[in-house]
Amino acid sequence: MPSNVKVIQDIANQIKEDNLRGKERIPTSETFIKKMVQTHDRGPDEIKEMLEQLKETHHIFSFFVVNPDPSLFVQGVEGYVFADQSVLNDLKHNIENKLMQAYESTLFKKKSYAQILRELATKTKEYNNTELGRLLNSGMMVDDFLRIVSSNAFEYTDNWRKEKLFKLVREEENDFDPIEIEETPLEVAEEKFKTKENTSSKWHKTINQFSTKFVLRIHFRKYEFDVVRKLIVTGKITEMEDFIYIRDSIKEMETMKDRDPILKYHIEKMTDLRRLCQAKINIIRKDRLPSRVQTPE
């Protein structure tokens, strides 16, 4: 079986090929993941994780072609684009033409690409899950991605990406190394109780397989701040070190708003999550302080 790095690179090349010559030009989670499962004989979760690794190492960008809307039972659809200026420029030209055609066929009037963006930029929810809405989301995000690549060109070179990919794969493979810990009878008893209590929990199964920080990194890469908040308020995350990790990760992301335009849409959620973690940290620190015992004078 090919190495993970080889499969990851093949997936990136397939996205690039689709962007340049594919029928739909932007492969989406509706069909692309299934296609990669069949091509590489890997599970869907493995392919999804490899896509996350490609995002983290600046090989690709992903975005919602269709935004999730639970009120209308609309599931989010992700699109994938290769993070290269020439590919993005070619894709931008293709999207511009398609958007103008879709606008004319939907609203029965002609406008330039720039005029359409100005008119519909605040109406993405209204056109969500339509051809016009998909092209609108794609156009706006490709414009943003072009700005990111242009302003941080060095981080989107082949050498930079390869180095980051090999480093990331090594780090995440090390996360799965078993660590032998000598347990006392009390610890064994406590572990048996926890297992009995939580075996059916999806979260319990997840953190048994992956580290908490590893799972949090995945949620942050996907901008799922609501999911992390829910893990905290439902008592899934309770450890001081995890709260500190979340708080510090949010602080770091807040400094990256100018480099990652997607973050600007999540500022309030990030701030709320950072404050929630700080409050949890304060409570734990207060509980750990030794209680003052008054001595008779």
296: which strand partners? none
* CATH, range 4-89+136-168: 1.10.10
pTM: 0.62
Q: For residue 37, is it left (φ>0), alpha (ψ between -120 and 50) or beta?
A: alpha
Length of the chain, please?
Answer: 297
pLDDT digits (tens), the chain, 297 positions: 457 889 999 999 999 999 999 988 999 999 999 999 999 999 999 999 999 999 989 999 999 999 888 888 888 999 999 999 999 999 999 999 999 999 999 999 999 999 999 999 888 889 999 999 999 999 999 999 999 898 888 889 999 998 888 888 777 655 444 333 333 343 444 444 444 444 445 666 666 666 788 888 888 887 888 889 989 988 889 899 999 999 999 998 888 877 777 787 788 889 999 999 999 898 888 877 765 544 454
Q: Quick one: which H or E segment has residue 78?
A: strand 77-82
The residue ranges of every structural domain in the chain are 4-89+136-168, 183-288
C-alpha–C-alpha distance, residues 199 and 147, integer Å: 46
